[in-house]
């Protein structure tokens, strides 16, 4: 398990505790929190695997010298 995914288990344990102790609003909030955490973990994983080191793989446009003064 990657080093960041342990937090998902902790959130699940907290939700189980909240449900067992009648803290339904907290349990629902922990569900939302787990979704946010999973999305952020996935985003970080994608950034780490990106060939441009987090720049979403978008090549920069090449305008071929437009707007630049060029001398012959």
DSSP string, 17-34: HHHHTT-HHHHHHHHHHH
pLDDT score, position 70: 47
7 near 37, Cβ under 8 Å? Answer: yes
CA atoms of 23 and 50, how far apart (whole Å) = 41
CB atoms within 10 A of CB 7: 15
Of 44, 20, 17, 14, the C-alpha closest to 32 is: 14
What pTM did the predictor assign? Answer: 0.62
Instruction: Give, for all 72 residues of the chain, the pLDDT tens digit.
Output: 468 889 999 999 999 999 999 999 999 999 999 999 999 999 998 888 887 655 555 555 555 554 544 444
Place of tokens 């446009």: 61
């Amino acid at each position: 398990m990657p080093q960041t995914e342990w937090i998902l288990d902790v959130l699940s344990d907290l939700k189980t505790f909240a449900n067992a102790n009648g803290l339904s609003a907290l349990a629902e909030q922990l569900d939302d929190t787990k979704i946010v955490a999973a999305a952020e973990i996935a985003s970080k994983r994608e950034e780490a695997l990106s060939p441009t080191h987090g720049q979403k793989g978008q090549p920069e446009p090449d305008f071929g010298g437009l707007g630049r003064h060029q001398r012959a």
